[in-house]
Amino acid sequence: MNSESLQALVAWYQTLSPASLSRLPEFYVEDAYFKDPFQELHSRARLRAVYEHMFETLEQPRFDITGTVCEGRQAFLIWNMHFRSGRRSLCLHGSTHLVFADDGRISRHRDYWDAAEELYEKLPVLGWFMKQLKKKLQVPSGPGHAEG
């Protein structure tokens, strides 16, 4: 993967739209592996369905790639996903590990983000519960508690 190809990929992600999904074959092999906190699949067609579902269920979703690391046939993208939910603007922070096939297209795509912190805590009722649970599970700090 050269820097020019990576820049083209990043530009595509940052301008992703229902119309630009037609370019998926330029970037992904037919049997591309994809995994995120909600699903695991082995098909470019099913990946397209994931993106289509995102556009159907979220208001104004967009990715902002804030950093990239590329070495050989692998890349790591750091991103923020912005979208609206009702009157609220939300942002998920995550990263993606990509592995490229011999032809330079993506063969493996794995998204890493914390669904509990990045999504569940931002929902009205579930968010309150998750925050309370997090407080209960945190190790207290202060006198008598050693730091590691």
Domains along the chain with CATH numbers: 3-137 (3.10.450.50)
Element containing residue 89 per DSSP (H, E): strand 88-100
- Of residues 116 and 45, more confidence is placed in 45
pLDDT at 100 over 70: yes
126's enclosing H/E stretch is: helix 124-137
Place of tokens 């994809």: 34
Average pLDDT over residues 93-116: 91
Distance (Å, whole) CA 148 – CA 4:
43
pLDDT for the residue numbered 31: 98
pLDDT at residue 91 greater than cutoff 80: yes
Question: In the predicted model, is pLDDT for residue 137 greater than 70?
Answer: no
pLDDT for residue 144: 57
Q: 128 vs 7, which has greater pLDDT?
A: 7
Does 128 have pLDDT greater than 70? no
Q: How does pLDDT run across 12-45, given as a tens digit for each residue?
A: 999 999 999 999 999 999 999 999 988 899 999 9
Amino acid letter, 55: F
95-134 as b/e: b if 16+ CB within 10 A:
ebebbbeeeebbbbbebebeeeebbebeeeeeeeebeeee
What residues are paired with 70 via a beta bridge?
75
Which pTM does this prediction carry? 0.78
